[in-house]
Structure 1
Amino acid sequence: MATMRVMTSSDAPALVQNGTKPRKADDAYDILKDLIITMQLKPGEPLDERSLIANLEIGRTPLREAIQRLSHEQLVVSLPRRGYYVSQLSITELQQMITAREVIEPQTARLAAANITVAEVCELRRIITDACAEFEGLSPAEILHRDLNFHSLIAEASRNRFLATMANELNTLMLRYWYISFTRTPHFREDFAKHHDLVDLLEARDEDGVYAEMQAHITRFRRRMSDAIATGGALSAL
């Protein structure tokens, strides 16, 4: 897959839903997060403030606000007297997070099957359909955000804010591992289209069925990551 160019503040969306310009800190956060997710800022790399301000065309205050948000999401860590660094990846962390997903997300999906609305089902289908139709024109970061939005909407439909918060925080932290999986899955669009199976079960309010399908979805991810570890590549240094 071709290397993505470094984004600047001009790449950020010009408008938000209420028609007003987004805050500069939001622009900085979105850009910096995508650079981390897609490994353009590598695990363990220091965040050089001057370089980021120049390259991203963003001010010091918005940048610092963005770094604080990313630190809260554990994508960035602060080292005493050394500054901020992109958080490391590790096989142990990956295994623990997948195990946590196996506990949290199937149960979240089961609750969603009981509580989801027609509008939410339609929105889930729209996310899948649009992503598959626009796939060739989307950046890896954009595709991953579509996937994250899909899972976040299911979590929200559970109507359990504690489970939803845990699921969303966990999946946000896993985005770099999703990126590794994405770059090693030759038929990712077809895999993404399989999300329709989850939506069919949610729409049918099949609680046991959607629980099992979400488990299978996570198992497929575990298998892809095991293959990535076995063959080296992006995980060879972990």
Structure 2
Amino acid sequence: MVRRKRTLEVVRPDDEAKPGRRNRVNFFELAYQKIEDLLINCELRPGQFLTMLELQHITGLGRTPVHHAVNRLSADTLIIIRPRHGLQVAPIDLARERMLLGLRRDMERFVVRLAADRASLSHRNQALHIERLLRERRATLTLDEFNSLDRRIDALILDAGGEPFLAHTMRPLHTLYRRIGFIHHRCIPGHADLSGTIDRHLAILNAIANRRVDAAMEASDALIDFMDSMFMEMETGIDPRLLDCSIEPLLGT
């Protein structure tokens, strides 16, 4: 009896250590999500320079999770690590990101096709729930609220597709274009209306919920076409400092 008790006592510290490891992983993901949000809504402005310590203060998280998140975001080409000079939020290069939109078109079509083909009953019910919410809130939805739902839609589609590799590939692309969408809707006069992007997301959700593969791919292409039109407007009518705040202002501006 005594030996058994001692054996149990030896095991307990290991059992307690496991949640600790899970907590550390959660803090890494939390740091990534917080910084990702700051990039999307341009609280961390494109082209902005800052230090790791400043990023810790902004997020309220410690050095290790922030450092881990920065390394991931650097690999995602969203943050530039400049040795001896700190960090820089990657400026927006419209030509590059419009070129990458072609890559996203092909990958998004592939992911959406998988999702529509493989969606479980749970996935389909979730798609219908988000579709219904978007329709109900269509006229009043704020940009921040839409971005939150958009992230849920992306996660749902990737989960329904059932291929974990795709999540690591698609997430940086989603962040790039969510940031583009934020600037387009928030900073370009006359483009605050979200109905165009909402309608295209509704079409994707409906097609996946009803497992209509061809319709899902068509809806995905329509969304990418809509995003491409954003680039056309931004290339001709946007203040370059919104894309890179490190640009020196012109005299008198």
Residue pairs, 1:143-222, within 5 angstroms: 143-183=146-186, 184=188, 185-189=191-195, 191-222=197-228
Amino acid across the alignment from 1:69? R
Partner of 1:5: none
RMSD, aligned CA: 3.2
* Rg comparison, structure with higher value: 2
Aligned residue in 1 for 2:103: 100
- Aligned to 1:74, which of 77, 80, 84? 77
- Structure 1 regions of 5+ residues with no counterpart? 1-19
Distance (Å, rounded) in 2 between the aligned partners of 1:97 and 1:146: 23
More deviation, 137-146/193-202? 137-146
TM-score by length of 1: 0.75
Report the secondary structure of 1:205's partner residue.
Answer: coil
Q: Which has the higher helix share?
A: 2
Tell me if 1:232 matches 2:238.
Answer: yes
Deviates more, 1:34-43 or 1:187-196: 187-196
Q: Which ranges of structure 2 fall in alignment gaps of 5 or more residues?
A: 1-22, 245-253
Q: Structure 1 residue 228: deviation in Å?
A: 1.9
**TM-score (normalised: structure 2):** 0.71
Please give the alpha-carbon distance, in whole angstroms, between the structure 2 residues aligned to 1:154 and 1:125.
12
Deviations 1:187-235 (A, max 9, x none): 2156324422222222332222221121111101111221122212367
- Give yes or no for contact 2:124–2:210 (8 Å, CA) kept in 1: no
Structure 2 distance, partners of 1:45, 1:212, is 38
Count of residues in correspondence between the two structures: 219
Q: SS state of the match for residue 84, structure 1?
A: strand
Compared CA separation, residues 112 and 56, structure 1 to 2 (3 A): closer
Structure 2 residue matching 1:85: 3-state secondary structure: strand
By relative contact order (CA 8 Å, sep 6+), the higher-ranking structure is: 2
